[in-house]
Structure 1
């Protein structure tokens, strides 16, 4: 089983992160399974919706390596039961990216995911 490629998208507003991921999805080859975990809730009309090729999960705001760790872990475990080719993680804050990456490089995730990009948007 191939590891899912992970792109971290952090910083900026929720709309900025969602727009960046939506734009990136237009460049993905068709018929690939993809997933996204977006921290926060849209403040208007969401750009992304779940469909047969995109498993979209929105989680309440909270640092993914601190207070949001359990929610992120449960959501990630659900997604990785049927691993997508690409996984986008949209994080509100890039302050703890190193901690999150370290956590995701530990078993069992180190066998299931491979980091591809770290996109940091402006505030």
Structure 2
């Protein structure tokens, strides 16, 4: 098993604000030139709750894999969908993970869930970003 994936939770009531915050964070990650380094296949995974509110500022690049979940609390009604989506992305080996949430109402529950097995060994949760 490799190093835990640095994971950032981004909360905010506006989909546009959450996506802009994630896009800004993605801009801070160095991009690898295709085939010039062993990390050329490296990518960041983005899981967003809810539908896009128009055009997204998140870049459509091979280094970014974006998955959208239906609106609703991912730790309650969407727990199974989030778990399946997260497991699929983690099997692909992202170098970073961002999870955008519409509400901070259950943020503590979600963080607690992500800090339990098996995710406690797979994810390195960072501070929450408010958009």
State how 1:16-55 maps to structure 2 within 5 Å.
16-31=17-32, 32-55=42-65
| Gap regions ≥5 residues in structure 1 | none
Question: How far is the alpha carbon of 1:2 from its aligned partner?
Answer: 0.8
Bigger Cα displacement from structure 2, 53-62 vs 40-49: 40-49
Normalized per residue, which structure has more strand? 1
Question: Which consecutive aligned stretches of 4+ in structure 1 deviate over 3 angstroms post-superposition?
Answer: none
Please tell me whether residue 101 in structure 1 is matched to residue 111 in structure 2: yes
TM-score normalised to structure 1 length: 0.92
Question: How far is the alpha carbon of 1:55 from its aligned partner?
Answer: 1.0
Residue matched to 2:82: 72
Whole-Å Cα distance in 1 between the matches of residues 47 and 102 of structure 2? 11
Kindly indicate whether the alpha-carbon contact (under 8 Å) linking 2:23 and 2:59 is maintained by their aligned counterparts in 1: no
Whole-Å Cα distance in 2 between the matches of residues 120 and 48 of structure 1? 17
- For each residue in 1:38-87, what CA deviation from the matched residue of structure 2 results, as whole angstroms up to 9, or x when unmatched? 00111211222553211110111110110011110010000010221110
Q: Whose radius of gyration is greater, 1 or 2?
A: 2
Aligned residues: 121
TM-score normalised to structure 2 length: 0.87
Please tell me whether residue 63 in structure 1 is matched to residue 63 in structure 2: no
1:24 partner SS: helix
